[in-house]
């Protein structure tokens, strides 16, 4: 459909009106000079023929219209196109000769532009040589870091404070691949990648808690604060993570408190070790207990046998007991040997923590539940505990919430004191009805902890065992106060404050610069975020046809990511999909996918969840996105996944930037931007091309004053093509 | 008057010896093989004292302890825990649950007899 040029329409209408007025005025003048007879003759002569006059008028207008149209395209559109093309040259690094069109003046201008471009290119090349030289040095240092990272035997992931991944090594990638629930599809790429959130793997609260711990310690001046935690992943693996802070760059002579800009996680998958350890612990534990019991039985029997007057029958029974117990002991020892207790001892990591800090954290957490007030009731602030604070806090808030729900308690007190060899942490309350409490409370330690919407399979008993502690419910007869008591291990008091001067800037790598450490766009609302700061998933689908609502299916999805203005070619998603229907033969030349190729590939209900995760926290980009989004949306019911990401369409954005270009097909745009992509017409090739186009469009949009996602969406909606619907 | 002692333990091998010993000391002896049976016997027979193993089926020694102390009638009844659990935390828990004293297996029966005697005397 051709666009109607209103300038031509207005021109024709104007000229038509002028002609008409001229005709009428001339006619009227002649009329006024005629006498009655002359007027009659004129009336008779013209009479019916007045239509001829009007027809000629209309015909001449058509001619005028055609002439005007030609003139507009020759003298006006050609310069407008030239201006748009020049803008492309200005705003991007495209090297391209402009085609001279239109009037002689316009052609001359085009030539001048081309010369200027050549001049600029020459300058730029010279500059590039110098930049490349400087970059080589930086690159060498980066390579050294990369080599160092890849040789590490631990998985290392570096994140900023929002949990976005800035750096990871190959081992981390392998480990995440093992964690992936869709290994055949995305191969872990949906979990790890630059700019991705680490919270896809770790519980956000767990990481936040560890961060808080480290921050407290930094403020207190600890030399090398680190935190450890253990977490289970969605696929049931047990990961041990050690967290160390990345400190902010500080002037050498400032005394300001140390701030963090991010953190390093070192990961170990300890699922197997932990299971083995748990088995060994169990064997050891039962062995000691049973041996004690057996020895007890033997000791008692021996004691009785020492009496001289034991009847023969009793003596025989006791000897039998001795034989049985010695036999049993021997068996248990053999069992122990065959279970091959090895020397690698793995413990659930317990950390040193100031008791007062733990109580303060518990109060914050309990009050955050809502409906409960928590207060300190005697805290010995000299006590250092050795605890796994996350699970312990979980336990305390679980108990508090259950008290509120089942015993109608609104206030709890926390108490910390020194017991015999251990610290006593009490959660106290004044019961509203003693009978009720006694009936309800016992046995809570065996139930899985649920609190604040968090579910865990751990019980209080597990937490207590993890600490080698004890837990019970008790009532103080004098005061009537009831409480849960945790016996917790003590830590040696820590070295404090004095070490603060040692740590300045020494442990930080100086050979790397992480742009992503800047506060990210994620902390602002997406709509107000700059396009150049957002993360994008650029994707393309191949289908069996153009009507997804009536049975056409996706046969391939491919995507690449743009993070922090960089196209990450290696973090891509490329998957064939078995459509469970035929592929029409006429479509095969378009996408090149044959029925044999999709046979045995995963079906859409397996692929879309992986793709959804791959695109997590990003803006979706596609060329003619309305179609691709439709394909995803018709599957919402089957997969239960909603693709409610913000969406950008390169077709619409191209129309925003270049309203005068006739075609906004992907081919035409790539040609305009001089983009060469191998493998076009495969989903991945098209996704790459779209991504390149999108990255060329961003600076052009900025020249038009369109900086944010919200502004870009608004502009796109206004364009003519926005009315196309599938 | 003959005192009644309840011995609760799921190990028959120790019940044999302890029953013999306590009878020899001149007490009437009741035997329970798990925690629930112990609770039932206490309620029906009102023994003067209880020897409680900690790890028992149905109800642990801790739970039996808690149940005894929760009942007004048995507030003053001496409880002696016999435990194969050697950890100090278990001992602390047992005492907090209301036990008067504890002995960790293996123990000397002479000491046991001595403790039983003392506890019974102090309860009078």
Does one domain contain both A576 and A707? yes
C-alpha span between A374 and A393 (Å, rounded)? 13
Condensed to tens digits (0 to 9), the pLDDT of residues A239-253 reads 788 888 888 766 655
User: Is residue A211 a part of any domain in this protein?
Assistant: no
Choice among A346-355, A386-395, A464-473 with the minimum mean pLDDT: A346-355
Is A608 within a domain?
A: yes
At which of A284, A315, A338 does a domain end?
A338
Q: Which of B21, B55, B106 sits opposite A289 (nearest CB)?
A: B55
Structural domain contains residue B122? no
Q: Give the β-pairing of A482-488 and A423-429.
A: antiparallel
Average pLDDT in the A86-92 region? 79
A316 — contact with chain B (CB < 8 Å)?
Answer: no
pLDDT (average), residues B5-19 = 91
Looking at the complex, report in whole angstroms how far the Cα of residue A283 sits from the nearest Cα belonging to chain B.
Answer: 14
Alpha helices in A188-255 (DSSP H): 204-220
For residue A333, report the phi and psi dihedrals to the nearest 5 degrees: -65, -40
Number of domains in chain A: 4
Within a domain: residue A87?
Answer: yes
Contact B106 A301 (CB under 8 A): no
**A363 part of a folded domain:** yes
B47: containing domain? 4-116
Q: Are residues A375 and A472 both part of a single domain?
A: yes
Separation in Å, CA of A217 to nearest CA in chain B: 30
> What is the Rg, in whole angstroms, of the alpha carbon atoms belonging to chain B?
13
Identify the domain containing residue A700 by its residue range: 521-723
Judgement on whether residues A637 and A559 belong to the same structural domain of the protein: yes
d(CA B105, CA A290): 10
- Cβ distance B21 to A304 less than 8 Å, yes or no, reads yes
> CA-CA distance, A578 to A184, in Å (whole number)?
14
Query: How far apart, in Å, are the Cα atoms of A11 and each of A7, A62, A68, A71, A659?
Result: 6, 11, 7, 11, 21
Among A216, A658, A681, A696, the active-site one is: A681
- Kindly state whether residues A312 and A374 are assigned to the same domain: no
A434 touching B, CB under 8 A?
A: no
Do A533 and A618 have their domain in common? yes
Q: What is the dihedral of CA A254, A255, A260, A265, to 10 degrees?
A: 100
According to the model, what pLDDT value does residue A388 have?
81
Here the ipTM equals 0.76
Quote the pLDDT of residue A668: 86
Range of weakest confidence among A117-126, A139-148, A320-329, B63-72 = A139-148
Inform me whether the pLDDT recorded for B5 exceeds 50: yes
Do residues A649 and A531 share a domain?
A: yes
Residue A101 is assigned to a structural domain of this protein: no
Average pLDDT of chain A is 80
One domain for residues A293 and A408: no
CATH at B30 = 3.40.50.2300
Q: Which residues of A641-650 are buried (b: 16+ CB within 10 A; e: fewer)?
A: bebebbbbbb
Q: Are residues A532 and A671 in the same domain?
A: yes
Which of B20, B96, B106 is facing A292, going by the closest CB pair?
A: B106
The dihedrals phi and psi of A375, each to the nearest 5 degrees, come to -135, 155
| Domain final residue pick, A51, A71, A91 | A91
Q: Going by C-beta distance under 8 Å and a sequence separation of 6 or more, which residues neighbour residue A618?
A: A534, A535, A536, A537, A561, A645
Go through A219-256 and write b for each residue having 16 or more CB atoms within 10 A of its CB, e for each that does not: eebbeebbbbbbbebeeebbbbbbbbbbbeeeeeeeee
- Is the predicted pLDDT of residue A318 greater than 90, yes or no? no
Closest residue to B14, CB basis, from A300, A469, A471: A300
CA of B22: which chain A residue's CA is closest? A304
**What pLDDT shows up at residue B80?**
92
Which range among A286-300, A435-449, A530-544 shows the weakest confidence by mean pLDDT? Answer: A435-449
CATH number for the domain harbouring residue A566: 3.30.420.10
Query: Same structural domain for residues A358 and A480?
Result: yes
User: In this predicted model, what pLDDT tens digit does every residue of A5-37 receive, in sequence order?
Assistant: 788 888 889 988 998 899 889 989 988 998 888
Per-residue model confidence as pLDDT tens digits over A622-648: 998 888 888 888 888 888 888 888 889
| pLDDT for the residue numbered A566 | 82
* A361 & A326 share domain: no
Count: domains in chain B? 1
Query: Is A599 considered catalytic here?
Result: no
> Who's near A347: CB < 8 A, 6+ residues apart?
A277
Decide if A474 touches B, using CB distance below 8 A. Answer: yes
CB distance from A488 to chain B under 8 Å?
no
8-state DSSP, A578: B
Q: Is A233 domain-assigned? A: no
| pLDDT tens for each residue of A654-686 | 888 888 777 888 888 888 888 876 666 788 888
Answer whether B109 sits within 8 Å of A300, measured CB to CB: yes
**Two tokens at A267?**
């990961």
Domain boundary among A464, A488, A512: A488
Query: For residues A540 and A6, what is the distance between their CA atoms, to the nearest angstrom?
Result: 36
Contact A301 B89 (CB under 8 A): no
Residues written for chain B: 124
Least confident of A438-442, A599-603, B58-62: A438-442
Burial of A544: CB neighbours in 10 Å, binned 0-12, 13-18, 19+: buried
B17 contacts A300? CB cut-off 8 A: yes
Q: Are residues A669 and A694 located together in one domain of the fold?
A: yes
A309 within a domain of the structure (yes/no)? yes
> Based on the domain organization, do A535 and A664 belong to the same domain?
yes
Mutation for testing the A interface, residue in B95, B105, B111, B113 having most A CBs under 10 Å: B105
If residue A132 lies in a helix (H) or strand (E), which one and from where to where? helix A104-151
> In this structure, is residue B124 part of a structural domain?
no
How large is the average pLDDT for residues A204-232?
80
Q: Is A485 on the interface with B (CB under 8 A)?
A: yes
**B51 lies in a domain?**
yes
Contacts of A470 in chain B (CB under 8 A): 89-90, 92-93
As a whole number, mean pLDDT of residues A182-192 equals 60
What's the start-to-end Cα distance of chain A, in Å?
17
Q: How far apart are CA A33 and CA A36, in angstroms?
A: 10
**pLDDT score for A189:** 62
pLDDT at A511: 30
Task: Quote the pLDDT of residue A498.
Answer: 33
The answer to whether residue A319 is domain-embedded is: yes
Cβ <8 Å between B108 and A299: yes
């Amino acid at each position: 459909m051709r666009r109607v040029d209103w300038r031509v329409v207005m021109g024709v209408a104007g000229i038509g009106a002028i002609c008409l007025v001229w005709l009428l005025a001339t006619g009227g003048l002649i009329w006024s000079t005629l006498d009655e007879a002359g007027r009659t003759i004129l009336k008779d002569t013209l009479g019916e023929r007045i239509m001829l006059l009007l027809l000629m008028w209309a015909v001449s207008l058509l001619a005028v219209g055609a002439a005007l149209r030609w003139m507009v395209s020759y003298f006006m559109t050609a310069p407008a196109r030239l201006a748009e093309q020049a803008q492309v040259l200005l705003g991007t690094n495209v090297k391209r000769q402009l085609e001279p069109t239109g009037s002689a003046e316009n052609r001359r201008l085009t030539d001048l532009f081309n010369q200027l471009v050549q001049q600029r290119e020459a300058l730029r090349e010279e500059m590039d040589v110098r930049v490349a030289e400087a970059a080589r040095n930086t690159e060498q240092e980066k390579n050294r870091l990369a080599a160092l990272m890849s040789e590490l035997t631990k998985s290392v992931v570096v994140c900023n404070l929002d949990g976005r991944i800035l750096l990871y090594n190959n081992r981390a990638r392998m480990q995440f691949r093992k964690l992936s629930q869709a290994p055949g599809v995305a191969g872990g790429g949906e979990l790890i990648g630059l700019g991705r959130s680490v919270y896809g793997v770790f519980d956000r609260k767990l990481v936040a808690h560890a961060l808080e711990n480290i921050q407290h310690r930094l403020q207190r001046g600890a030399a090398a604060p680190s935190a450890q935690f253990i977490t289970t992943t969605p696929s049931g693996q047990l990961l041990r993570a050690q967290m160390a802070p990345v400190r902010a760059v500080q002037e050498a002579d400032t005394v300001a408190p140390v701030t963090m800009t991010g953190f390093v996680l070192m990961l170990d998958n300890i699922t197997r070790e932990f299971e083995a350890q748990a088995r060994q612990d169990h064997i050891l534990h039962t062995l000691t207990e049973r041996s004690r019991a057996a020895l007890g039985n033997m000791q008692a029997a021996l004691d009785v046998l020492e009496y001289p007057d034991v009847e023969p029958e009793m003596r025989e029974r006791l000897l039998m007991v001795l034989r049985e117990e010695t036999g049993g002991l021997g068996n248990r020892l053999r069992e122990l040997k065959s279970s091959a207790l090895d020397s690698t001892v793995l413990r659930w990591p317990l950390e040193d923590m100031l008791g007062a800090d733990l109580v303060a954290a518990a109060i914050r957490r309990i009050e955050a539940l809502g409906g409960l007030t928590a207060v300190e009731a005697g805290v010995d602030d000299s006590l250092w505990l050795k605890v796994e604070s996350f699970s312990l806090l979980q336990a305390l808030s679980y108990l508090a919430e259950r008290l509120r729900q089942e015993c109608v308690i609104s206030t709890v007190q926390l108490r910390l004191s020194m017991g015999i060899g251990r610290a006593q942490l009490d959660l106290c309350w004044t019961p509203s009805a003693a009978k009720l409490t006694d009936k309800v409370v016992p046995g809570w330690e065996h139930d899985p902890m649920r609190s604040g919407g968090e579910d865990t399979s751990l019980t209080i008993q597990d937490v207590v065992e993890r600490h080698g502690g004890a837990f019970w419910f008790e009532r103080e007869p004098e005061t009537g106060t009831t409480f849960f008591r945790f016996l917790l291990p003590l830590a040696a008091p820590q070295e404090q404050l004095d070490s603060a001067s040692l740590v300045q800037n020494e442990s930080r790598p100086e050979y790397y610069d992480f742009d992503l450490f800047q506060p990210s766009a994620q902390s602002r609302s997406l709509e107000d975020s700059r396009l150049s700061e957002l993360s994008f998933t650029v994707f393309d689908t191949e289908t069996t046809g153009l009507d997804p609502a009536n049975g056409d299916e996706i046969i391939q999805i491919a995507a690449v990511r743009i993070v922090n203005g960089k196209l990450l070619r290696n973090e891509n998603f490329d998957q064939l999909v078995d459509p469970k229907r035929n592929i029409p033969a006429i479509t095969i030349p378009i996408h090149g996918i044959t029925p044999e190729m999709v046979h045995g590939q995963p079906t859409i209900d397996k692929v879309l969840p992986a793709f959804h995760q791959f695109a997590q926290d990003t803006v979706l980009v596609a060329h003619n996105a309305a179609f691709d989004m439709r394909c995803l949306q018709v599957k919402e019911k089957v997969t239960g996944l909603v693709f409610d990401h913000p969406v950008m369409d390169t077709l619409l954005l191209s129309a925003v930037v270049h309203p005068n270009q006739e075609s906004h097909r992907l081919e035409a745009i790539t040609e305009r931007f001089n983009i060469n992509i191998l493998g076009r017409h495969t989903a991945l090739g098209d996704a790459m091309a779209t991504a390149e186009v999108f990255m060329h469009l961003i600076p052009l949009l900025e020249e038009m004053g369109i900086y944010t996602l919200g502004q870009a969406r608004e502009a796109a909606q206004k364009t003519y093509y926005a009315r196309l619907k599938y | 008057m003959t005192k009644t002692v309840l011995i609760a333990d799921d190990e028959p091998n120790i019940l044999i010896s302890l029953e013999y010993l306590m009878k020899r000391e001149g007490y009437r002896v009741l035997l329970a093989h798990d925690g629930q049976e112990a609770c039932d016997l206490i309620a029906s027979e009102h023994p003067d004292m209880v020897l409680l193993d900690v790890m028992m089926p149905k109800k642990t020694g801790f739970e039996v302890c808690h149940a005894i102390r929760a009942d007004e009638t048995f507030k003053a009844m001496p409880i002696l825990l016999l435990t194969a659990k050697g950890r100090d935390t278990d001992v602390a828990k047992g005492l907090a649950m209301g036990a008067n004293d504890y002995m960790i297996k293996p123990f000397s029966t002479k000491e046991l007899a001595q403790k039983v005697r003392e506890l019974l005397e102090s309860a009078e």
